[in-house]
Structure 1
Amino acid sequence: MAMTADSRMFPPVPDIQAKWAPLYIEPMHGSGERIVVATAAVDSGGSFYVHATLSQRVLQCMYGDRAEVLDGLIDLALDVLQTYLATGGSLENWMPPFRSCHLGTCRTAMGSSLEHVARSGAVLTSSLTAKLADYSLEQGQESVGPGLDVDRWVQQIRERVCVQSPHLDARFNGEILVRPGASPTKIGYLGGNIAANFDMLIPGSNLSNRRFRSKSRLLDLQILKDQVDNLLPRTSYELLLWIPERDSPGFSPRQLDAAHGALSELQAFADDHSLMVRPYHRAEEAAQRILTAELS
């Protein structure tokens, strides 16, 4: 008698199909030597994720005094790429901003999320990936030790807001549709007066990825402001960012300097786009900012 296969014997088909490509930079222009500095994944609806592959520690180890210059070039390339993708540009048609920057071959892959596809591409193309152990993280989750977890940070803010104003609970985890056919863009808090995203700028070897992720969340706010709320804008569009205090005993002085330097970069980027980055050390402070904006 013929046997029929039970579908439960097979793993589920991944949810996302996307194009992805590595981004290369030549540390010495014209040498032909290229290193992967990021991977980008874009789905059919135009949603994207850009994953930085190099940590500041690796750059410093490899290039010494030139590391700061190279880090600036990487930052520029990723800013231009993310801004281009945010406007609906196709990955394969992107033009790099300078001659020593190159986009690799576009390929198609499947995964549980765009982040998963981009990280998979990093594993395949980059021998200098900042922290391959991060590859096992779940979508949207970054656990970096007791008390340092993005989802926990957001939940703490949400709980403190809802203690005082329970009706604001429904405004967390909002979604907007930027373009027809695109996947919804998630916004941490969509209020009547304020739209906010949340992130953590945690010092350490993966700081570059966290900095670029924070910029991506600022770009989401810019898209909301310029393309969705252009007729009836909210009062403020803000990234509420956890960062340790300058004298935090949990990190070295060099790590703290790097994190606060990244904060300054994010604030300058936000200023250029009429956005705001607010650094906080405690969830109570971030929650109070939302309450003040919404209830004033």
Structure 2
Amino acid sequence: MFNNDKFPPAPNFYAEWKSIYFEPIPNSGEKITILIVIKTNDKKINVFDALHPTVIDSLYGSKSSSFQGLIKLIKSNILKNDGYSNIDGVSGSVWHSALSENLNGIIRQALYKSASLGSAALKSLFDDEDAGIENEQVDKRWSKRIKTAVLDLDSSYENSFDLKIPVGRDIRIACGFHTSRYTAKFNVCTSQTIIRMKSNLVDLQILDTNNISSRYDLILQMPTDEDLQVTPKVLARMKENVEMLKREISSKSNINIFTCNNEIEGAGRIFEMLKAS
């Protein structure tokens, strides 16, 4: 009745996983899944982040860097203690057995089955057609992170961020970064940001037409290919959107789309363009 050739082979990668919880308020009972621990057949322990940086920004705002530092400390502690943590406020689930095609499949399975806040937030951010307000807040936090990274290296650019540039009599265009030599706007790329990215590129074209600066960038934060919290399908859609936008502005030599994975790379681009201008 059934043709076996039409069925995919059964997954043969076996591993165990467990969630690591953090209790923000001691004894409150409220817990956040912050890490996923994987134990493979050879008993090797691997630890992966369960919270995307954009989610941490949303939760902790100006204190997000401190919380990320705490997560790194917890991760190191777990690796030193064979998959267990002895830090107050940190606990773990029981071990769960799982099968998948590879390690990445096990991790994604663990992320969603642990009902982590990171997974829920990312689903809203990347899949919800009405996520405009959330995306706008994500862009603002991305802009703030780049600003901090730049000022850590050169505080003289303090007054170059978050400016509204007058164009004509009654028009002001908001820019993440601006000098007479170089201007940039910032976006976090998700599957739902295409309209906002197009709008920012139009703003840069208006600035270019009015000779406001010499060079212009739209600096996009993109997930990496190894980002386990963004599915390959969503990442492919995001890359397709970016490539489409690059083709649209290919004839505009003064405007570029620069993709990066973190604020350090974004800050590096700003300094690179300032030197080149």
TM-score normalised by structure 2 residue count: 0.50
TM-score normalised by structure 1 residue count: 0.47
